[in-house]
Amino acid sequence: MAEKLFTEFPPVAKQEWEDAIIKDLKGADYQKKLVWKTMEGFSVQPYYRAEDLKGLKELGGKAGEFPFVRGTKEHNNWLIRQDYLVGNNFKAANALALDGMMKGVTAPGFDLSQTDKALKADIKVLLKDIDLRAVEINFKGCNDLSILKNFIAIAKESKVKPSAIRASFDYDPLKQLNSTGIYSKAEATKLLVKALELVEEFPNITVIGVYSYAFNDAGSTITQELAYGMNMGSEYLCLLQDAGIRTDEVAKRMKFTVSISGNYFMEIAKFRAARLLWANIVKAYGAKKEDSCKIKVHAVTSAWNQTVYDPYVNMLRDTTEAMSGAIGGVDSMEVLPFDHAYKKPGEFSNRIARNVQSLLLDESHFNKVVDPAAGSYYIEELTDAVAKTSWDLFKSIEKAGGYVEAFKAEKIQDSIKETSLKRDSNIATRKDTLLGTNQFPNFTEVAEKEVTKKTVTRNATPKKKAGMLGRPLETYRGAMAFEELRFKTDKAAKRPVAYMVTYGNLAMCRARAQFACNFFAVAGFQVIDNNRFNSPEEGAKAALKAKADIVVACSSDDEYANEVPQIAKIIGKKAIVVVAGDPECKDELISKGIENFISVRSNVLETLKAYQNKLIK
């Protein structure tokens, strides 16, 4: 019989915990101080206990058992994928893939989105020396069936057993709808039916792609990505069922490409919830086999999170995101190179991206435990919350007529736009941190030479045009607004100088100087900090001598009322005087002509834009 640990300690009732918390809060609002209101539409408590899991229907079970919350397989191995842009140089792409496979890649991907035409001879060059039994081959950017036809012909010539060949093709007409607003139900049906016919002899080739990653690219929440991805999958099941194809055959030929955002625990919950939701959706469509209800997930780290300034931080983002995917139990994963946002990845960045997964597999042994999150009160609750919230959103789209109809009515675009505006606001006000971009920048950094104005500038908001069913999704990176700001500074003839006039209370002047330096460095301004001047007059004169464009008064609130006007009088119109903080004497200072204040309440982006527009023409 299993022995319980720590029996010498008496159990603590939940109410005792609550009473202790309320006492420590000293009257502060529990809900506001400790309960996290997520953008996904539900609240997260500050702690969870075993009794919180009572009533969770899907708790327990084993990996490989319906509804597959704990995993679709009895192990946690996943394939390491890396995609190679083919263009029209099939030999070079083949060389990159062979090199990648020698260094850990087990699922090479070929991106044909910029390829003019891929003949059978071209595909042969692409697959040269690749053993079709050893790795999963993936084709991305498939526009017509010629790629699939040529691959099948080569596979048959290889004499490899059809069941031994693993491959994927991303025929995904709804992906085109998301990116261009164009979609034809008749053409989509024809394309997918023919693709399914071509792979009848090959049980381990998927041909239907569900690119829910697109929603993350547009700034969606985790539950929006999950729900709308399920809606896309449901649309294909319905479409092909109407064409006379059994649900079991359709479902087993489908692969979801899903993002991994930086929300560590929520992403783990998302993958667990995805298996639960998809299993029930496929079952509802009449699948006869439980295996047909298993979702196939290829996960990719988030491009939306990547930055072009302080880009090595992207390695940290990639690592935590990959950990979420590994713990969440994905089937394959691609870690984007850290410089993916602004240049074609080279050997170093590709190597680092591969090795993130190799470290998780071979050194951290993440593949040794199936669903290590199981039993965690927090993650089990998150899984339930993500699943329920996503399911409600999924049903609302189905009620509106399904994915295509909802897209035509622009319900999906409007919903994601509303979310992305909130996320943009959080980044602008630093409620959300993008390390090295809107917070804690590298003061001396200048953008790498590959970064262009186009790299950091968002495209115009898409509009519906003739021939479109609805306006396309707007894709961007969360950091772009700050990057555009800093890039403008980088390219200016003169970099503005922000000078810290530190005086008075040592602790306060240093704290506010550090805050102000960080604040202005976000825009790429040169910042000059100082330990402490003997008087504000001394500091103001030093600022003039340094030819500062911005003079920042840094001291305590008590010392601002009388002394900031003195600084302003010395500076005159030769620089902009800014007060670091939001002092009680603010109204008094404003009455004396002091107009500029920066604090934690500031909209950092808009404030810096205003100063930049005054100083850089």
DSSP-assigned states of every residue in 527-551:
EE--S--SSHHHHHHHHHHTT-SEE
| CA–CA gap between residue 445 and residue 313 (Å, rounded) | 13
Q: What percent of the chain has pLDDT over 70?
A: 100
Q: What is the mean pLDDT of residues 502-512?
A: 97
Distances (CA, A) of 167 to 63, 137, 251, 298: 24, 5, 15, 12
Distances (CA, A) of 82 to 170, 321, 545, 594, 597: 15, 16, 55, 55, 48
User: In CATH, what is the architecture of 79-399?
Assistant: Alpha-Beta Barrel (3.20)
CA 337 from chain center: how many Å? 14
Please give the full DSSP string across 411-469, using - where no structure is assigned.
Answer: HHHHHHHHHHHHHHHHHHTTSS--BTTTBS--TT----TT--HHHHSPPPPP---TT-S
Task: State the Cα torsion 480-481-484-488 to the nearest 10°.
Answer: -160
DSSP structure class, residue 127: T
For position 8, what pLDDT does the model report?
85
11 by DSSP, 3-state: which? coil
Parts of the chain belonging to CATH 3.20.20.240: 79-399
Q: 3 pLDDT band (50/70/90 cuts)?
A: confident
Radius of gyration of the chain (CA): 28
Q: 11 pLDDT band (50/70/90 cuts)?
A: confident
| 337 upstream amide cis, omega within 30 of 0 | no
Token reading at 497: 């100088």
Q: Is 176 left (phi over 0), alpha (psi -120 to 50) or beta?
A: alpha
34-92 pLDDT, tens digit per residue, is: 999 999 989 999 999 999 998 888 777 899 999 999 999 999 999 999 999 999 999 99
For position 7, what pLDDT does the model report?
83
Please give the full DSSP string across 557-584, using - where no structure is assigned.
Answer: GGGHHHHHHHHHHHHTTSSEEEEES--T
For position 338, what pLDDT does the model report?
98
| CA–CA gap between residue 261 and residue 328 (Å, rounded) | 13
Return the percent helix, strand and coil in the chain, to nearest 5. Answer: 45, 10, 40
Q: At residue 152, what is the residue type?
A: I
**CB 473 within 8 Å of CB 214:** yes
173-194 pLDDT, tens digit per residue, is: 999 999 999 999 999 999 999 9
556-568 pLDDT, tens digit per residue, is: 999 999 999 999 9
**CB 283 within 8 Å of CB 324:** no
For position 93, what pLDDT does the model report?
97
For position 2, what pLDDT does the model report?
66
- 3-state SS, one letter per residue, for 372-390: CCCCCHHHHHHHHHHHHHH
| CA–CA gap between residue 519 and residue 513 (Å, rounded) | 10
Q: At what angle do helices 222-242 and 264-284 cross, to 10 degrees?
A: 20
Q: What is the mean pLDDT of residues 247-262?
A: 98
Q: Which residue in 215, 222, 259 sits closest to 38, CA to CA?
A: 222
For position 1, what pLDDT does the model report?
54
Q: What is the mean pLDDT of residues 350-375?
A: 96
Q: What is the mean pLDDT of residues 327-341?
A: 98
Q: At what angle do helices 264-284 and 313-328 cross, to 10 degrees?
A: 40
Q: 291 pLDDT band (50/70/90 cuts)?
A: very high
| CA–CA gap between residue 537 and residue 563 (Å, rounded) | 9
Which CATH number does 492-615 carry? 3.40.50.280
| CA–CA gap between residue 294 and residue 604 (Å, rounded) | 46
Residue written as token pair 């917070």: 439
Q: What is the mean pLDDT of residues 113-138?
A: 96
Strands 43-44 and 36-37: antiparallel
For position 60, what pLDDT does the model report?
77
CA 313 from chain center: how many Å? 14
Q: 290 pLDDT band (50/70/90 cuts)?
A: very high
CA-based end-to-end distance of the chain: 77
Average pLDDT score over the chain: 96
Say whether pTM exceeds 0.85. yes
